[in-house]
Amino acid sequence: METVVKRDLQMESMSDVVIFNLLAIITGVTCGFIAIGFRYLIFGMHDLFFEGLSSTMSSIYPYYLVLLPALGGIFVGLLTYYFAPEAKGHGVPEVMRAIALQGGRIRPRVVAIKALASSICIGSGGSAGREGPIVQMGSATGSTIAQILRLTPYQTKILVACGAAGGIAGTFNTPIAGVLFSLELIIREIKIRSLTPIVISSVFATIISRILLGFLGVKTAFIFEVPPYSLKTPHEIIFYLFLGLLAGIVALTYTKALYRIEDFFEAIKIPEFVKPSIGGFVVGIIGLTVFLTTGKTHTFGVGYESIEMLFRGELVFDVVLALIFLKILVTSITLGSGGSGGIFAPSLFIGSMLGAAYGMILQTLFPTMTANYIAYAIVGMAAVFAGASRATLTSIIIVFEMTGDYAIILPLMFACVISCTFFKIFSEDTIYTLKLRRRGIIIEQEMDVNVMRTIRVRDIMKRDVDTVTEDTPVSELSKKMSKTGHMGFPVVRNGKLVGMVTHSDFENIEDTRGFYVLDIMTTDVITAYPDETLEDVILKAGDKDISHFPVVDPSDSSKLIGFFTKGDIIRAYTKKRIE
């Protein structure tokens, strides 16, 4: 009988695996269609703004370039404010939050709103990339399928990760990088039960993307066509070490600038939906200045055209150097003001310009020891993103898959690791997790979330608190404990907290007659504040055996506003881990 039962369980498990992998295929196929649809939606919005609207303002050419990103910002602000606030920004942190705290649940409307908001933002000249939006849209697709079928929270999270992988793979024609991105940044675990469906989704998204692009007559080999490069001499690896350090510095600057500007816009006391248009106006001014100087709007949009110009040798050193800092600035303004788009493409842009400028200097100083500056540009692309995201494997593979240049893999790996290490020394968060930390959500780098840091005291405390006074007889206290089932009470005097009394304070007293709460209570009380996390409370309690915690007003430590116990902590922790 035991053997039969085991076989039946295996058959049921196999059936579940097959069904779930079919869902991964559906998710991947859907993401493939979404990726191509989003790509052409951006093209359409670009044509609408830069050909349609610009033709009506031809009399003020080229000064209408200031107005186009501002007009786009108006629509982006209205869409995100009224329909899906989570659709603004770069998208990946919102998916990470859904995975960590919401059991992978993402509202279905995010797919449509994110697609519209990001395509308008990028198409009108906002400096942002496609990766953040497509990750959020793909993840929302997987989450929607899971919610319709009422899957478990863990299964939902895996389908969310499948959607993220499918989105990346379908957008950039990078199936391996799609899987690694999902593992390193979204699901944050490497297990066969999650890896298999993620790989399947990525494969099918790539297949659908290539079929559609082939049907539309678009090349599907590599996003960037570059000649092959490799180390010219073994000594050249030292130059890539310093490039990795520079990439780490630039990645850190990029991250700090993004959130400094976000703080600036949050401090402005105007309606939220107006802010993206203000940011767009400033981006337009910078874009116009660049256009008048170089004849190209290098700082607008995704920036791939400028990278291709760099690879063709059409940009001079002064322009390349300036674009490093200008792209950091315009991307920070676009996203910090409430625009919608990703940080990956700008990272590639910034990194390529950094690597190219560095390579140009090296070629001047050491012409016989260094490869062409394009080699340094390719490595810089990966190294800046590796530092900012700390997704080292994803950075290495995605640039390899986008360029097809395997010969450069050794310096690519070396510079990415150096950049990532440097960034980690100065920031415990990545460009993605810093956004969550600012909301009180801590995502650990060891592919897990510290649950105790995500639950706040206000989420578990009881606001209707039973109390006792100092003159309450212990015999009456004992009866109250038996009646209520509570093993401890805050002690108050004239409504003010003065101590705690628990069952353990009198359990060794054989005759409680003549004893009052005043005689046995503890005055050295560990209190908590509503905004503290459970980890804060546990660390505050230290090794003391404390089971009851009064919650007080932060401005008045004697004002009792809530109460919770160790049991409440355990229940909250257990519930969150199950989700």
In tens, the pLDDT along 61-73 reads 999 999 999 999 9
* Measured distance CA(37)–CA(161) in Å, rounded: 20
Cβ contact 110:164 at 8 Å: no
- pLDDT tens digits along 240-291: 999 999 999 999 999 999 999 999 999 999 999 999 999 999 999 999 999 9
- pLDDT tens digits along 379-403: 999 999 999 998 888 888 888 888 7
Among the ranges given (307-316, 447-456, 543-552), the one the predictor scored with the smallest mean pLDDT:
447-456
Same domain? For 248 and 367 the reply is yes
Predicted pLDDT at 221 = 61
Nearest CA to 381 out of 435, 315, 327, 333 is that of 327
For residues 169-181, average pLDDT: 89
Task: Using the 3D structure, point to which of 394, 429, 452 is the last residue of a domain.
Answer: 452
Of 456 and 265, the structure prediction assigns the larger pLDDT to 265
Q: Which H or E run contains 451?
A: none
**Is 475 inside any structural domain?**
yes
Predicted pLDDT at 220 = 58
Mean pLDDT comparison of 43-52, 92-101, 524-533, 561-570, highest-scoring range: 43-52
Q: What percent of the chain has pLDDT over 70?
A: 93
Same domain? For 531 and 438 the reply is no
* Measured distance CA(410)–CA(375) in Å, rounded: 12
Amino acid letter, residue 291: F
For residues 75-92, average pLDDT: 89
**Is 312 inside any structural domain?**
yes
Of 346 and 482, the structure prediction assigns the larger pLDDT to 346
Q: How far apart are the first and last CA of the chain?
A: 34
Same domain? For 292 and 362 the reply is yes
Mean pLDDT of the chain: 87
Q: How many domains does the chain have?
A: 3
* Measured distance CA(528)–CA(550) in Å, rounded: 6
Of 524 and 573, the structure prediction assigns the larger pLDDT to 524
Query: What value, to the nearest 5°, has the Cα angle with vertex 138 and ends 428 and 248?
Result: 25
For residues 518-528, average pLDDT: 88
For residues 193-216, average pLDDT: 90
Is the pLDDT at 335 greater than 80, yes or no? yes
β partners of residue 89: 340
Q: What percent of the chain has pLDDT over 90?
A: 51
Of 152 and 71, the structure prediction assigns the larger pLDDT to 71
Is the pLDDT at 532 greater than 60, yes or no? yes
Predicted pLDDT at 222 = 64
Is the pLDDT at 20 greater than 70, yes or no? yes
Same domain? For 91 and 184 the reply is yes
- The Cβ of residue 508 has, within 10 Å, a number of other Cβ atoms equal to 6
Residue 11's contacts (CB-CB under 8 Å, 6 or more residues apart) are none
**Is 338 inside any structural domain?**
yes
* Measured distance CA(104)–CA(98) in Å, rounded: 5
Predicted pLDDT at 410 = 86
Predicted pLDDT at 578 = 55
Same domain? For 434 and 462 the reply is no
Same domain? For 89 and 201 the reply is yes
pLDDT category at 135 given cuts 50, 70, 90 is very high
For residues 31-52, average pLDDT: 93
pLDDT category at 206 given cuts 50, 70, 90 is very high
| CA–centroid distance for 549 within its chain | 34
Cβ contact 415:382 at 8 Å: yes
- List the CATH number of the domain containing 421: 1.10.3080.10
Same domain? For 417 and 299 the reply is yes
Same domain? For 348 and 461 the reply is no
**Is 533 inside any structural domain?**
yes
Query: What value, to the nearest 5°, has the Cα angle with vertex 70 and ends 69 and 73?
Result: 85
Predicted pLDDT at 8 = 35
Same domain? For 152 and 172 the reply is yes
Structural domain for 463, as ranges: 456-578
pLDDT category at 4 given cuts 50, 70, 90 is very low
Is the pLDDT at 517 greater than 60, yes or no? yes
Task: Using the 3D structure, point to which of 452, 477, 498 is the last residue of a domain.
Answer: 452
**Is 1 inside any structural domain?**
no
pLDDT category at 168 given cuts 50, 70, 90 is very high
Same domain? For 161 and 269 the reply is no
Predicted pLDDT at 573 = 77
- List the CATH number of the domain containing 531: 3.10.580.10
Cβ contact 419:244 at 8 Å: yes
**Is 436 inside any structural domain?**
yes
Task: Using the 3D structure, point to which of 452, 483, 500 is the last residue of a domain.
Answer: 452
Same domain? For 177 and 255 the reply is no
Same domain? For 516 and 572 the reply is yes
**Is 468 inside any structural domain?**
yes
Predicted pLDDT at 348 = 94
Of 127 and 86, the structure prediction assigns the larger pLDDT to 127
**Is 5 inside any structural domain?**
no
Predicted pLDDT at 541 = 78
